[in-house]
Structure 1
């Protein structure tokens, strides 16, 4: 069994569907096929709200058949191997499929082996993740009785870098409502060095952290989880003995000053030190899973040394195989992996690919690294972090029409955009191949 298509797309997520829809709607492409095994397409940005009890999970799901563009052939199968030298994709059930042009957009996958113990703990008991089971997150937050609420993330690239802290801000509000906040320490432990990479947004978020009395712990590299003892184990990403400052207090009579580049708003939660590892005891934990490119992509000639799809940062064309393009979470682009980034990547891929197909020369439409992270800071409040490859704050002029003068500040209109506006645009415009 084998078949051939002019344009073959791997992935029926946001990126794959939008590329197919725009190719067909705007460029009248005739022979477009999409390889996608799943029956259901999810609007994942709403999962943050699901995890906080503010959105119905069922409303984030639609049948895959309903988002497949008219005119695209749906190959309901799994890609298992890539052979770009011979323009061939291997599949689980449909044999080899050949193509003239390939668009690789399968998203990312989770590799729990990178944090031993996390896979066993995940989505059970008091360990949760909006990335994998937001309904379980809401159960954990709802049933939390106090203690240490640990919010953390691995050091791999993850979907939406802001998501691990958004759920923390909402959970902290819920703890106030449920009456457990006064007997709770909220801790955010990250391998990063700042709360957010965009200065204007970081300033706002630090005010939120102050208002909510949250302990930030930087340079914390999550290396293991002990589900039985409820300990998250970290290694420090910076020498903790330098400069006479301490990161870990708790020793008797220790008067040394705390290093604020490590810990901001220190809380004396229970910790265990074991060699160079540092364990935080949690009563609930939310994390993003360690993320990698799907195995069939990692095992192919299409990846860079870090194991992500090696595409040109501006044109989205593959650096070695000119008839291959890639976008979305699988692409090795130095920007945040978000649906908003995909919204700006798609027209670049579509225009450059269309030129290649019809005029046989390379398009020069360029992607500037735009991404955005809607940072929900409370029920009814949001900041919209929009930025480019250089972490410049780049607000969308369309927001001025919503009467939002500064999207780096908290605003209820941005919450309305997140909860109602963006899902509407997604299903009714983006999935249909319209420019938004």
Structure 2
């Protein structure tokens, strides 16, 4: 294969919400010669997939052509990045192209490690197992929920950082609410397996979620993980890390969430955090600049910042990265700082949502100070179902929010 070479003043790896948002903001700041590396034809609004799995939205509503959301004036390199050499300021792509840069923004997203839990990848091909973490499987989740009238339903969450850490709980509550409406909730045992010691990392939201779980009669296993899956036999092993015990549970419905990490190719670069097996790009948690390479920035799910990996976090990180990239291009001090803001709209029923907002302090940081967002609310449901998607497509991806 012959190789080609090109150069951009700013090169962005990843055309998801982070990459497109930063590109749009840089263009609005009149930065020219921006290249964006992204192989996909389709762009997904992934927060909708929980509602797809819960029977509250069609999957097609989450997808749009990648070409339709690319900022004007940005060179789309329709290829996949495979390596970064920060010393020589070079990115190598799957097609063999070598792209050099002055400033690099790394946001390739997160990797779903289905193989890390024995039996998980194989179980997804069986009739009773699904996951809202892929576009293709989210509709299957709703089919399983709709068809179940009795038996045991298990909803699991892995250890370690994952994108949208509330999603494993959200689908359990939407399923329970559906079964309640159908009059079969009393015939279904619901088990929620969480690796954390509590329902949520912020006390106010954890207390509300405990009330929600109790209302539905959900058995919550904290400090626990699903460590083995027998898809054909419809059985799982749940390991309690606090008590050191293992429990074998049969299921009629299983919703799984895979462990997650930086893409393998990122782990192999000099940008990865050497102290973390997950291999996230090691950045200063406030400036988003790499700790060893001053012309490299990272944001989104592949960055090492210790916040929750959510779209709302990216919405706050993107303007920080854009402003700091412009400053770095001018050899000026970095003016912008990210405070760790993240938001997780936790759907607790069809028509009810708890809006959890917090930052590095792990304290509530509400955007709506006149209303109590630490409780389930109907208006927050409409924000989740319609408002946030409109904000995403019309403002965030255009560098306006």
Answer yes or no: same fold by TM over 0.5: yes
Counterpart of 2:266? 297
In the alignment, is residue 96 of structure 1 matched against residue 98 of structure 2?
yes
Counterpart of 1:288? 257
Q: Following superposition, which runs of at least 4 residues in structure 1 exceed 4 angstroms of deviation? A: none
Counterpart of 1:11? 14
What is the 5 A alignment of 1:327-342? 327-342=299-314
| Preserved CA contact (<8 Å) 2:156 2:225 | no
In the alignment, is residue 382 of structure 1 matched against residue 349 of structure 2?
no
In the alignment, is residue 176 of structure 1 matched against residue 142 of structure 2?
no
Give the one of 142, 145, 150 matched to 1:146: 150
In the alignment, is residue 317 of structure 1 matched against residue 286 of structure 2?
no
Counterpart of 2:376? 410
What is the 5 A alignment of 1:131-280? 131-132=133-134, 133-240=137-244, 277-280=246-249
In the alignment, is residue 308 of structure 1 matched against residue 274 of structure 2?
no
Q: Which is worse superposed, 387-396 or 224-233? A: 224-233
Q: Deviation at 1:349?
A: 0.5
Counterpart of 1:429? 395
Q: State the secondary structure of the residue aligned to 1:38.
A: coil
Q: Distance in 2 between matches of 1:16 and 1:279?
A: 43
Q: Which is worse superposed, 71-80 or 180-189? A: 180-189
TM-score, length-scaled by structure 2:
0.96
Q: Distance in 2 between matches of 1:94 and 1:333?
A: 31
| Preserved CA contact (<8 Å) 1:155 1:222 | no
| Preserved CA contact (<8 Å) 2:13 2:105 | yes
Q: State the secondary structure of the residue aligned to 2:249.
A: strand
Q: Deviation at 1:123?
A: 5.3
Counterpart of 1:246? none
Gaps in structure 1 of 5+ consecutive residues: 241-275
Q: Which one has the largest radius of gyration?
A: 1
Q: Distance in 2 between matches of 1:342 and 1:309?
A: 15
Q: Distance in 1 between matches of 2:333 and 2:155?
A: 45
Give the one of 352, 357, 363 matched to 1:392: 363
Question: What are the superposed Cα offsets for residues 270-323 of structure 1, whole Å, 9 maximum, x if unpaired?
Answer: xxxxxx532222111112111111111011111112111101001000011010
Counterpart of 1:74? 76
Q: State the secondary structure of the residue aligned to 2:272.
A: coil
Q: Distance in 1 between matches of 2:57 and 2:126?
A: 21
Q: State the secondary structure of the residue aligned to 2:164.
A: coil
CA RMSD of aligned residues (A): 1.2
What is the 5 A alignment of 1:360-379? 360-379=331-350
**How many residues get paired?**
393
Q: Deviation at 1:361?
A: 2.5
| Preserved CA contact (<8 Å) 2:155 2:191 | yes
Counterpart of 2:64? 62
Give the one of 7, 14, 24 matched to 1:21: 24
Gaps in structure 2 of 5+ consecutive residues: none
